[in-house]
Amino acid sequence: MGTKVKKRFTDDFKKDAVNLVVKQGYINIEAAKSLGISESAIRTWIKKFGPNRDLRNLKKGGSLLRRRKSVRYQFIDEEKKAYPITILCRVMKVHRCGYYSWRKRCESKRFIENQKMAIFC
């Protein structure tokens, strides 16, 4: 009986495979077929080397998740340069369309009045 030899890949190869999916827009299956590896390997490497690898730690803190949605939207707005908005919205437990609506809204009269009062205090 033949024994199956497990393939080993370098971290650079894994990161390049992740970049195919994350930066170049390949679907996991397409990237896996073109590289001759399994789709589950790609998924595992994305979890390990992908751009959202640090976002899992945000769930543990939870302090932002207990705040108003507007505070969470502000956090998303600040972090959108580093991470995709879709992932940030998922981690912050808000809808992506809600975030975009929040960005389009004008500041409320109450908020403007509070800002003026803060100046005088």
pLDDT tens per residue across span 58-71: 554 467 777 788 88
The residue extents of the domains of the chain are: 9-50, 53-121
Amino acid sitting at position 72: R
Whole-number Å distance between alpha carbons of 97 and 102: 9
Map tokens 């730690």 to a residue. Answer: 57
Q: For 17-35, what is each residue's pLDDT tens digit? A: 888 888 887 888 888 888 8
Cα–Cα dist 14/101, whole Å: 37
pTM listed for this prediction: 0.43
Backbone angles phi, psi at 18, to 5 degrees: -65, -40
User: CA-to-CA distance for 29 and 65, rounded, in angstroms?
Assistant: 33
